Amino acid sequence: MGELSDFFPPAVSFYFSVAFVIPFRALIEIPFMEVGGLTTEMTTEELKEGGENSFSYQLPVRIKHGNLILKRPIENMLTDLLEAWSASSLHGELVTNVVPIDVTISLIDAYKLPHRMWYVTNAYPVKCDNNPFASNKNELAMESLELAYNKILRII
Alpha-carbon distances of 56 from 25, 41, 44, 63, rounded to whole Å: 52, 20, 12, 21
**Distance, CA of 143 to CA of 133 (rounded, Å):** 11
Query: Partners of 6 in the beta sheet?
Result: none
Mean pLDDT of the chain: 88
pLDDT in tens, 39-81: 999 999 999 988 888 889 999 999 999 999 999 999 887 667 8
CATH, residue 73: 2.30.110
Tally of structural domains, the chain: 1
The proportion of the chain whose per-residue pLDDT surpasses 70, expressed as a percent, equals: 91
Q: Which domain holds residue 111?
A: 4-154
